[in-house]
Structure 1
Amino acid sequence: MTDAVLRVRGITKSFGAFKAVDGVDLDIAEGEIHALIGPNGAGKTTCFNLLTGSLPLTSGEISLRGNAISGLPMDEIARRGIVRSYQISSIFPDFTALANVRFALQQKRGTNFDFWRSERTLEQLHGRAMDLLDQLGLVEWANVRAGDLPYGRKRALEIATTLALDPQILLLDEPTSGMGREDIGRVVDLIRKVAKGRTVIMVEHNLSVVEGLCNHVTVLARGRVIASGNYREVARNEKVVEAYLGAAHA
């Protein structure tokens, strides 16, 4: 385990008198797959919004490789390497899978929406786009409209377009939600593959996925961290058991 690449101290997000996130500390180690879990309403998605800058902090500090990023705009945080898949990777349903990845690569080049006018620039990115599709098992779907892709393949395309931005830290919000067993297995394999050489933070309700995939698990309940450790440690924690059983019987 290496030193924390992302360090979070006492982050809080209040909406009036309600604290959706209440004094959360996180240490995300370089190269790990770190899960945020907890019952509905625990504050997991709000934490993601705070980490990516899409919501401002009420209080607390976030640092990336020792440099404070608290208060930076979302696009600047993304440029520094923290990317949340659905926020940044816009899937255009009327364009092919290949075109979607090329658009994301164009965005990475910082030329905004020039791609609408520059087919030549897009062709220059063709090789890299095909390489990303190959990594995600999408080569045979390259010329299929994104809107026509099966659900699991759409999620893979979202990951491909996110990887086009070359993130250091990839945030995935319920990547297996709504999937059947075959698609879940495929996406888990993809996450394991793309995690090589980068750090992944994921919100995931499927605890079997968390157990088999994640190095570290942080459990939230009512906006606070109630447990942190490997899956076996948190699964035995009495506070975690109580939080999940309480949610089940609410």
Structure 2
Amino acid sequence: MTGQGEKGVSTAALTVRNISKSFGAFKAVDGVDLDIATGEIHAMIGPNGAGKTTCFNLLTGDLPLTNGEIQLHGKVISGLATDVIARQGLVRSYQISSIFPDFTVLNNVRFALQQKRASNFDFWRPERSLNTLNDRAMELLENLDLDPWADHRAGELPYGRKRALEIATTLALDPSVLLLDEPTSGMGREDIGRVTDLIRKVAVGRTVLMVEHNLSVVQGLCDKVTVLARGQVIAQGTYDEVANDARVVEAYLGAVHA
């Protein structure tokens, strides 16, 4: 249920009503409702093929809705272009790292910071055009413990650090709602712990919605959980509530034994 502030005003950062996406006769997402409270870390989980990534693509405008409506802080954003949605505060990081491997870590963040400017063509301008962004770029790198790597090529970073850099470039757009697509995918235990700590840090003052397969991460990090199966929401609540839901147990066991 949508959170209510004083005088009944909604405190939801992201409100999703009956969104659907069909590809021909196949419904990848089928009537999904979400209420993501402001300041919440919210996980979307489910077996492979449940519709999680398609949901993310609908939220960010990467795919058009077949039906339904999406609101960001009470303002309808469904139907808007991806870049417009990002500028309004909903920004996504992707499961596959999207950094520029041949540029330095610092330059990756500076490029991202340009997207907030009225003119974002500094890429083609002299180096001094980017130097004005150094202070903010270094602040972001320091917040994510990446400042020692500032002058390294991004492609040389260890995998976990690359994911941290991707989060830094996402934060450069100053999102109020941050979508993270499998942020710990493919990581060892040490990197998982580091990235989990980073997510907890960057969640201060903003809302986070994440798709994550690692249920230990979800249990230790997230306030609320939405479970999808076959494109539909089958359970929502705290981790303990959804973990003990018979429909969730069946969905995961069915996936294991399929």
Normalization by structure 1: what TM-score?
A: 0.97
Give 2:152's match in structure 1, choosing from 137, 144, 148: 144
**How far did 1:85 drift?**
1.5
2:128 counterpart of 1:120:
yes
CA distance in 1, matches of 2:98, 2:195: 19
CA distance in 2, matches of 1:171, 1:196: 14
Give 2:252's match in structure 1, choosing from 198, 222, 244: 244
Give the number of equivalent residue pairs: 249
**How far did 1:67 drift?**
1.3
Give 1:8's match in structure 2, choosing from 12, 16, 19: 16
CA contact (8 A) 2:122 2:130 kept: no
Q: Deviations over 1:67-121 (max 9, x none)?
A: 111111111111110000139x941111110110011111221322323213222
CA distance in 2, matches of 1:153, 1:196: 20
Q: What is the DSSP-based 3-state SS (H/G/I as helix, E as strand, rest coil) of the residue aligned with 1:21?
A: strand
CA distance in 2, matches of 1:122, 1:137: 22
Q: Deviations over 1:106-158 (max 9, x none)?
A: 12213223232132221111111111000000011111100000000000000
2:36 counterpart letter in structure 1? I
2:229 counterpart of 1:221:
yes
CA contact (8 A) 2:69 2:78 kept: yes
2:166 counterpart of 1:166:
no
Q: Unaligned 5+ residue runs, structure 1?
A: none
1:169 counterpart letter in structure 2? V
**How far did 1:183 drift?**
0.1
Q: Deviations over 1:2-30 (max 9, x none)?
A: 62121100000000000000000000100
2:131 counterpart letter in structure 1? E
Matches within 5 A, 1:55-94: 55-86=63-94, 90-94=98-102
Give 2:213's match in structure 1, choosing from 205, 229, 232: 205
2:49 counterpart of 1:41:
yes
Q: What is the DSSP-based 3-state SS (H/G/I as helix, E as strand, rest coil) of the residue aligned with 1:112?
A: coil
Q: Deviations over 1:38-67 (max 9, x none)?
A: 000000000000000000000001111211
Q: Unaligned 5+ residue runs, structure 2?
A: 5-10
4+ residue runs of structure 1 moved beyond 4 angstroms? Answer: none
Pairwise CA RMSD: 1.2
CA distance in 1, matches of 2:105, 2:205: 24
CA distance in 1, matches of 2:114, 2:73: 27
1:92 counterpart letter in structure 2? F
CA distance in 2, matches of 1:249, 1:124: 56
2:98 counterpart of 1:97:
no
CA distance in 2, matches of 1:152, 1:65: 32
Normalization by structure 2: what TM-score?
A: 0.94
Bigger Cα displacement from structure 2, 98-107 vs 169-178? 98-107
Aligned to 1:235: 243
